[in-house]
A and B are shown apart, each in its own frame.
Chain A
Amino acid sequence: DAKTTQPTSMDCAEGRAANLPCNHSTISGNEYVYWYRQIHSQGPQYIIHGLKNNETNEMASLIITEDRKSSTLILPHATLRDTAVYYCIVRPLTGGFKTIFGAGTRLFVKA
């Protein structure tokens, strides 16, 4: 079973920030939070990851709560091309551990 829970779908207006929540209440101390997205019929694409501090890169920002039981992926200015399924995953940084995907959040960015 997936270690994360996400809303099934969300809408966002083009140009606005998209905030995608994720609950991971059973996260272990050595597990990181990773976000991937999958545009229709393509392989999942890595977005960002973090352990306990907030992270930002050219694609998105990741906000992790102090107790690490939840996080939010922020796309600051959503575009139509950001319409995709977004997966939140928890896993250790390295090692032979399987990555378990849940059903993800289907984000619709509307003009």
Chain B
Amino acid sequence: ETGVTQSPTHLIKTRGQQVTLRCSSQSGHNTVSWYQQALGQGPQFIFQYYREEENGRGNFPPRFSGLQFPNYSSELNVNALELDDSALYLCASSWGRDRGKTGELFFGEGSRLTVL
């Protein structure tokens, strides 16, 4: 186990709704990144938060937004859900730039979102 927990594990939404996914980082990690993984594909980078600030973003529209809290836990929010948003959403925590650790990412088990 990585110590990274995500909730909920599964959820079903309808098109146009909004969803919030949550992630608790491994203790001491100050960087959280989110990934979207469609069926049969590799994870696609959405964005990364370091000390509560977004410091990197992939090719995702603004309706994908996030937050990182002082305890370094994080949320991913998706507005105006579309059918193509159906995917496994993965959260990964790591040491930030000022730690100089191994740089490995510790992934949670993911939240599987189905949009109908």
Q: Which residues of A are in contact with B by a Cβ distance under 8 Å?
A: 2, 32, 34, 36, 41-46, 49, 85, 87, 91-104
User: B105 and A87: CB pair below 8 A?
Assistant: no
Quick one: closest B residue to A44, CB to CB? B107
The smallest C-beta distance from B41 to any residue of chain A, in angstroms, reads 7
User: B48 and A46: CB pair below 8 A?
Assistant: no
Question: B33 touches which one: A45, A93, A98 (CB < 8 A)?
Answer: A98
- Do A93 and B48 form a contact, CB below 8 Å, given A87-B42, A98-B58, A103-B42? no
Q: Is the interface of A mostly helix, strand, loop or mixed?
A: loop
| Most chain B beta carbons < 10 A, residue from A41, A45, A85, A99 | A99
- Do A94 and B43 form a contact, CB below 8 Å, given A32-B103, A43-B107? no
Quick one: closest B residue to A100, CB to CB? B45
